Structure 1
Amino acid sequence: MTKVFGAHAVSVDGYITGREPGAGRGLGDGTMLFDWYFDGDTPSGTFDGFRLSEPSARVFDDLAGRVGAIVAGRNTYVDSDRFGGGGPHPTARLFVLSRRPAPEVSDRQTLVTSGIEDAVAAAVEAAKAAGGKDVGLMGGGVVTEALKAGLVDEVILHQVPVLLGGGRPFFRELPEQVRLRLVEAVPAPGVTHLRYAVER
């Protein structure tokens, strides 16, 4: 069964970017959130150029292997310079969720303006067609909206031991509590990988 999960590198105080992220500025001054992608000696089996510690490579490649489609929010799309017309994953289809037209959407990307339910439904179909894989969510706004709609099965935090003190938070305001159950915690150099199941 196809699962929907949100996964992101996050500071201990809950930020997924540094201050002043945006087009041409990337993720602001919080790029150290992703240092663990390159600080190890184990190459990723999915992403060229990534060299992680052995425990991080195991977690990262397991997650990457699950992904058949990705839903990203407009801010993530713009901050990442539109993923160069492709996507953040080498093989997964990208669905961009936006309330208004997004600039320069390519034929390898799909713009969805009708809400999170439609974006996730389209991504689930693409993930199933990709061999029964899962859907990854990118961006705090997308994950929050999907949680509100009851569409998220797992939340995965790659928690980096830093307090950024500002930036874009991973989670936005929710109308009610969402209970999580810790499934796995993997300590690694420069990051702790935390996988939670969303309890319904």
Structure 2
Amino acid sequence: MTKVCTGASMSLDGYVSGPGETGFDKLFAWYDNGDITVETTHPELTFHLTDVSATYWRRLVAETGALVVGRKLFDMTEGWGGEHPMGVPVVVLTHTVPDGWPREGAPFHFVTDGGEEGVRRAVALARELAGDRDVVVNSGTIAQQCLDAGLLEEVGIDLVPVLMGGGTPFFTDLRNAPYQLEGPVSLAEGRQVTHLRYRVRYA
């Protein structure tokens, strides 16, 4: 059954990026600290993972049927060159469709509704595209809005032993906090990372 999930590499003090969007080299170092080569749909993007992290990543890819991302990430990656590295459809939540999109054959779908209604429409579309697999929503604003709307069912954390001291928190300004999480429902100890998954419990 399709779940709506989010996930991110996070520092021990709760940040998914450091001050001024720095620190990604430390937060994502676990993608290249192992001996197992894991390819993506982009030949130039190859991970080198430990056995534990490779098993975790392959499970995540196998379970993911569609993504929901924001315009900031879409622009930063330049639309991943027309295909996301996970090889699944992507729903982009944005105020305006970017110039030159949509492109024929590219698995990107754009939702331009604002506020909670836009989030609900984006998640509903992603559910249709995902079939019986999971929908993964981008961490940050979209994940927060999904949580406050009662849509988010699971939170994944790749916990990295580094202290950022500031930056962008995984979650902030939650409308209906506190939220209770159950678990971890799964736990895997990689090298310089602990992969955790929690189930969201709504009151």
- For normalisation by structure 2, the TM-score amounts to 0.85
Q: Which amino acid aligns with 1:119?
A: A
User: Equivalent of 1:52, from 39, 49, 59?
Assistant: 49
Counterpart residue number, 2:172: 172
For the 8 Å contact 1:10–1:33, the answer to whether it is kept is yes
For the 8 Å contact 1:46–1:64, the answer to whether it is kept is no
Distance 1:88 1:139 in 2: 17
- Alignment of 1:186 onto 2:183: no
> Which whole-Å deviations, capped at 9, do the CAs of 1:41-72 have from their partners, x for residues lacking one?
12226566111011111111101111110001
More displaced 10-residue stretch of structure 1: 114-123 or 168-177: 168-177
* 1:113-124 map, 5 Å: 113-114=112-113, 115-124=118-127
> Which whole-Å deviations, capped at 9, do the CAs of 1:154-188 have from their partners, x for residues lacking one?
10000111111233222121122211011122111
More displaced 10-residue stretch of structure 1: 73-82 or 155-164: 73-82
Structure 1: state its 5+ residue gaps: 22-27
Counterpart residue number, 2:27: 33
Distance 1:166 1:84 in 2: 31
- Alignment of 1:81 onto 2:74: no
User: Equivalent of 1:92, from 72, 75, 88?
Assistant: 88
Distance 2:186 2:77 in 1: 29
User: Equivalent of 1:195, from 180, 186, 197?
Assistant: 197
Distance 1:94 1:8 in 2: 17
Percent of aligned positions with the same letter in both sequences? 36
- Alignment of 1:70 onto 2:67: yes
Distance 1:104 1:20 in 2: 29
For the 8 Å contact 1:85–1:105, the answer to whether it is kept is no
For the 8 Å contact 1:14–1:169, the answer to whether it is kept is yes
More displaced 10-residue stretch of structure 1: 106-115 or 53-62: 106-115
Distance 1:6 1:35 in 2: 20
The SS at the match of 1:44 is strand
Quickly say closer, same or farther: Cα 1:39–1:199, change in 2 above 3 A: same
More displaced 10-residue stretch of structure 1: 12-21 or 153-162: 12-21
Distance 1:166 1:79 in 2: 22
> Which whole-Å deviations, capped at 9, do the CAs of 1:87-125 have from their partners, x for residues lacking one?
242x21011112344455443211111110000000000
- For normalisation by structure 1, the TM-score amounts to 0.87
Q: Between Structure 1 and Structure 2, how many residues are aligned?
A: 190
Q: Compute the displacement of 1:139 (Å).
A: 2.7
Q: Which amino acid aligns with 2:133?
A: K
Structure 2: state its 5+ residue gaps: none
Q: CA RMSD in A?
A: 1.8
